[in-house]
Structures are given as C-alpha cells and as structure tokens.
C-alpha cells in the first residue's frame, strides 16, 4: 500500500512539472519573434503581440495631434546695424531758402534805405542818414561813400517819382556793388588730364564754424554725386576729428585722420594721397582754427599748403568768416590772405545778422568773391552765394 501511494505521489509531481514546463516554453517561443514598438496614438498593453487581437480603434489618436519635440536652433549672432547713409538735399533747393531767410534778417536795412530814398526832398541830411545806415550794415567807408554818390547822381538826373522807383534804383546799385561778374564757381571736379582729385583747403579762426562748414560742403558735393574724401588736419582741437568723421559717416564719406596733437601737414598729405588712390573727385581738408596774431601757427598753415602741393596745386582755399563779426572779419581776411592765396569766402551765420554789407566789404578787402553762405544750423543750410537773391533779400 505504501508503494502505491509513493508511485501516485511521483506521478503527480511529474504531471505538475510537465504542465509547468509546457506553460513556460510555449509563450517563450512566441516572444522570440521581434515585436514592433508601440505606434504613436495607440495604447500599448503588455502581453498583446502582433498576432493578438487588434486594439480598439477608439484608442487611436490622430497623427496631427502628436506633439514632436522642437528642433534646437541656435539664434544667429546679430551684427550691429550700419548707420543709415543720408541723401543730402540738392543745392538748388537750398537757394529757395536764401532769399526768405535773408529777408527776415536784413529787413531793417532794406526798409531803412527805401524809406530814406522815398522822401519827397533828398537833402544833404538825408544822404548822410543813408550813408550812416550803410556803415551800420558793415558795408565799409569806401563802398558806402561810393554807393551814396552813385545814388545821388541818379536821383538828380533821373529823379525818383515813387517808392518803386527808389527800390529799382537801389537794387541796381547794390547789385553792381556786390558785383555779379565775379567768378563764384567752386572748383571741385577731378582733373581730367591726370585723374588727380580737386583739393579744397578750408581755413579760418576758431568759432567761425569751419569744421561744420567742411561737413556741410561734403553734403553739397555728395548731393551732386561727387566722390569725396575728408582730411581731419585739425589735430589740436579736442574731438575735431571725431566731429568731422561724424559728418562724413552720415553721407558715406571716408575721413582720413591722425593722432591727436599730430602733424597737420602729414594728415593733409595722407588725405590727398587717399583721394588719389580711391579716384575721388574732391578732397576737403579741414585745418585748425588759428588766431591771426599767432604767427607760428599761421606759418604752420603755410606749411600744410606746401606739403599738399607735393601732390599738385591746391584748387581752392576757402576762408570761413562769421558774418556777425563785422569789420573784425576783414582783419582776419587780410592776415589769412597774406599766408595763403585765398580763392573764395564762406560767410557763416549770414541769416543771423542785419550787417549784410560785410559781403561787399570782404570782397573789396581780398579781391575774391563770396562763394558760399551759411543760412542756419541745419545740415543742409549751406548754399552757393547768389548776388541777386542776396540783394532781393536785403530789400525784402
């Protein structure tokens, strides 16, 4: 009996082991196949293979709703924006403003003269008042006496019957005094024979607006489609080169500069050299503002001009004068004229004074014409001098 029970127990153990082994081996063979990864949007259930019942469709999410990771893109390094290059106003448009601005500043002069000439009786006292009015306007003694004498002669011969007659006569005589026959052309064109740029040397004392005038003149030339190079030869005044560079950058013009306190003649020489290499049309050279009493500095200005002339002749020497300084400007003009051969005058702040007679006086003093006038503080307030517009501005 014991043997039978032993056999039954052994058989039971063998059966249980066989069932367990079968349960273990059959799934392992199925899982030996390569299973596909779960599809996006489908719920994955462990133990369910490709041959199992397909998942219920309502568990599938639309592909468009799947959020994919954003690609990592490095932000580009931003380069500093280049300053915008301005397009200056053509010189022709500036002439329109000349008459109106002169009329505002010279009204007292014109009205005073017309009022005196329109009197019923032009006696000696009236003519003395006319001469005093002209002297107050900085016309100068000799030009004032000359103008009065010519007006007296015409009034005696032709007569003045109306205010309009007085205006016509005064206009004609003032215009003759300003002398429209003078050559006011600004020589800024490149030399055709050798391709050398025109060289313009700008001189004047401190405070006349010389560096600003150079910057404004560059704008005039750029408006005429000229290629310009600036020379910052004012190496003594702090930030003068920076000021000129700023003017140049605004219109896309190169500025040649040197170390502060360096040799101005060397900077001027390098500026002209750069103009030749770049085939520029014009080189504008700014110089230090020099007091006419400082002989050493004036001699240095002569040196600057001589060094530039190693490249070729200087085409223009422009003397910048402040119109509000009156007769003192004549002293400056005289001394500068002795050091360098001034070819033209630039009168700044002409719209801020009623002393327009300085135009005639300075032309008489140097024998050279006023070529440019400054009419305000704006960047395009520099214009070619027009004798007729000037006289009409005086008369209003």
> Per the annotation, where are the binding residues?
204-211, 286-290, 348-351
C-alpha–C-alpha distance, residues 77 and 267, integer Å: 37
Paired tokens of 374: 């400054």
Helix 328-339, helix 358-366: angle, nearest 10? 30
**305 vs 100, 163, 233, 287, CA distance in Å?**
38, 51, 11, 10
Residue 313: phi, psi to the nearest 5? -60, 150
The DSSP line for 126-149 is: HHHHHHHHHHHTT--HHHHHHHHH
Burial class (CB in 10 A: 0-12, 13-18, 19+), 201: buried
Q: Which residues define the annotated binding site for GTP?
A: 204-211, 286-290, 348-351
Three-state SS at 65? helix
C-alpha–C-alpha distance, residues 87 and 225, integer Å: 10
* DSSP strand pairing (344-348 vs 282-287): unpaired
Report how far Cα 70 is from the mean position of its chain's Cα atoms.
47
Q: Which residues pair with 383 in a beta bridge?
A: 373
Neighbours of 47 (CB within 10 A): 7
Neighbours of 140 (CB within 10 A): 20
Place of tokens 């367990």: 20
DSSP 89: P
Paired tokens of 372: 């440019």
C-alpha–C-alpha distance, residues 56 and 265, integer Å: 93
Burial track 117-129 (b if 16+ CB lie within 10 A, e otherwise): bbeeebeeeebee
DSSP alpha helix (H) spans, the chain: 2-31, 91-117, 124-136, 141-157, 163-178, 210-223, 240-250, 264-277, 295-308, 328-339, 358-366, 387-395
- HSE on the CB side for 27, CA within 13 Å? 8
């Amino acid at each position: 009996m014991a043997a039978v029970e032993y056999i039954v127990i052994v058989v039971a153990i063998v059966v249980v082991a066989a069932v367990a082994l079968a349960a273990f081996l059959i799934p392992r063979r199925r899982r030996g196949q390569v299973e596909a990864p779960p599809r996006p949007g489908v719920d994955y259930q462990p133990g369910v293979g490709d041959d199992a019942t397909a998942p219920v469709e309502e568990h599938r999410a639309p592909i468009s709703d799947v959020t994919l990771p954003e690609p990592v893109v490095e932000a580009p390094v931003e380069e500093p924006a280049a300053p915008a290059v301005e397009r200056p106003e053509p010189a022709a448009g500036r002439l329109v403003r000349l008459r109106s601005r002169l009329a505002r500043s010279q009204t007292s002069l014109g009205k005073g003269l017309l009022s005196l000439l329109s009197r019923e009786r032009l006696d000696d006292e009236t003519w003395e008042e006319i001469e005093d009015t002209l002297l107050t306007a900085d016309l100068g003694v000799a030009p004032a006496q000359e103008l009065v004498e010519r007006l007296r002669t015409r009034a005696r011969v032709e007569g003045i019957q109306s205010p309009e007659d007085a205006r016509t006569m005064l206009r004609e005589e003032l215009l003759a005094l300003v002398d429209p026959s003078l050559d006011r052309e600004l020589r800024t064109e490149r030399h055709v024979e050798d391709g050398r740029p025109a060289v313009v040397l700008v001189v004047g004392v401190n405070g006349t607006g010389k560096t600003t005038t150079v910057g404004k003149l560059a704008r005039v030339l750029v408006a005429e489609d000229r290629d310009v190079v600036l020379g910052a030869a004012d190496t003594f005044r702090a930030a003068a080169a920076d000021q000129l560079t700023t003017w140049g950058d605004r219109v896309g013009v190169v500025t040649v500069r040197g170390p502060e306190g360096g040799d101005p003649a060397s900077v001027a020489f390098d500026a002209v050299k750069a103009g030749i290499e770049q085939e520029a049309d014009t080189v504008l050279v700014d110089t230090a503002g020099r007091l006419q009493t400082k002989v050493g500095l004036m001699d240095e200005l002569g040196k600057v001009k001589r060094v530039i002339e190693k490249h070729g002749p200087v085409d223009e020497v422009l003397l910048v004068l402040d119109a509000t300084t009156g007769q003192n400007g004549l002293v400056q003009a005289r001394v500068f004229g002795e050091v360098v051969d001034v070819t033209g005058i630039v009168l700044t702040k002409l719209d801020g004074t009623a002393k327009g007679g300085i135009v005639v006086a300075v032309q008489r003093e140097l024998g050279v014409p006023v070529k440019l006038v400054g009419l305000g503080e704006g960047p395009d307030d520099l214009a070619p001098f027009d004798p007729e517009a000037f006289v009409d501005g005086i008369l209003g």
